[in-house]
Amino acid sequence: MTLRYILGLAFLILISACENETDIYLPSKSIPVVYAVFNDKDTVHNIYLTKSFGARRSAQDASQNPDSLYFPDASVTVGFKHLRRGAWKDHQTKKVFANSKDSGFFRYPGNQFYQLESDLGGADSIRVQIEIPDYDLIEAKIEIIQAVRIVSPLDAQQFLYLVPDTPLIILWDLGGHAWSELDISIEFIEETAQGKRSKWVNIQNTQYYLSPFEKYRKLAVPYDEFISQVILQMDEDEEVLRTYLGYIKLRIVGGDSEMVEYMKYFNGFADYNFNGYTNVSHGLGLVASSTEFFKDSMRFDYETRQTLINENRLKKLKISPWTE
C-alpha cells in the first residue's frame, strides 16, 4: 500500500468526520420517493411515487424523461384499519396520467401518480404499501388525526361581532393537530356604474404545537388589526359608488406531526444529498393526514356594520348601511 494511497484514505476519513459532512456520490439504483396526504373530507386521494435524482444528470434534464421519474411496474396499495376491527382492509389504487402540472419537477404533459377513490370510512390508521420489482417492500403507516371541532362561532351562528373593545374570536378544539391554519375571508361588494364586483379581505393565522391553552386553540382578531388589513388589501377606486358588506367565510385546516416535520425541509431528496424527514421505510418521503373545517354564509351583526360605516379610516370605501 503506497503512502499516497494511505494519505488519501486518511483525508477521506477526516473530511467524513467533520461537522459539515461531505457526501461522496456512489452510483446506485434510484431511491423511491413517496408523497401522500390523506384528508378526511376527500373521497379521492393521490399518491405520488417518483425516483430520486442522481448526481450524474441535472434534475431539470431528468424531469423530462419518464424513465428517470417513474417506476413503470410499481403497484400501490392503501389499507385502512379501525381500532375495533383489527384487520387491515386493503384497496388497490389505479395509475393516472394527468396533463395538469404539479409543482416541482414533474413531467408535463404525462405527469403520473396513483389514485384511490374512497372516503376514509372512519378509519383510525392508514397504511401505504408499494411493491417495485427488485426493491424491498416500501411502506408507511400513520394514525389519522381527528376532525376539527369548532367551539366558536357556534355551528348555527350566522352573525359575528367585532368592535374596538371586543376582538373577533375563533375557538377550536386541538384534536391532536400538530399545526393548524386558519383563514378568515370577508367579502366587500363594490358597486360601480357597470355593475357589482366582489373583493375579499383575507386574514390568515398558522399555529404549531405550542399553545397557551391546554385544550383548544384561539385566534383573536383585534379591531385595529382588522382595519389595517382592510386598508392594506382594499384600494381606493373613484369608480366605486358604494361598498356593501357581504359574507364571511371561515376555513380551518389541521395537520399531523409528520407533516410538521416534513415542512421544515424544502430542498427535496437526491441520491447524493438527503437532509430531511421521512416516515417511509425502504424509501424517502411523506405519508400524512390532514383535516379541515369550512363555514360560510356568515355576516357581521348590526352593531359591527354601523361601527365600520362610521370608521373614519374606511371612509374611502364608501360603505353602505345596507347589505347585499
What is the per-residue DSSP string for 114-178? EEEE---TT-SEEEEEEE-TTSPPEEEEEEPPPPP-EEES-TT--EE--BTTB-EEEEEE-TT-S
Q: Distance (Å, rounded) from C-alpha 56 to C-alpha 276?
A: 22
The mean pLDDT values, 10 residues at a time, for the chain of 324 residues are: 40 39 54 91 92 62 66 94 85 86 56 90 92 96 87 90 94 75 94 96 81 70 96 94 96 86 61 67 91 92 96 95 76
- Classify 3 as helix, strand or coil: helix
| Residues facing residue 117 across a β-bridge | 44
pTM summary value: 0.75
* Residue with the three cell numbers 395538469: 100
The reported pLDDT for the residue numbered 159 is 96
The reported pLDDT for the residue numbered 194 is 95
Q: Distance (Å, rounded) from C-alpha 131 to C-alpha 111?
A: 20
Say which DSSP state 315 is in.
Answer: G
Question: Can you say how many angstroms the Cα of residue 306 is from the centroid of all Cα atoms in its chain?
Answer: 37
Task: Name the fold adopted by 28-144.
Answer: Immunoglobulin-like (2.60.40)
Q: Distance (Å, rounded) from C-alpha 75 to C-alpha 173?
A: 38
Is-cis flag, bond preceding 153, omega within 30?
A: yes
Q: Which amino acid is at 252?
A: I
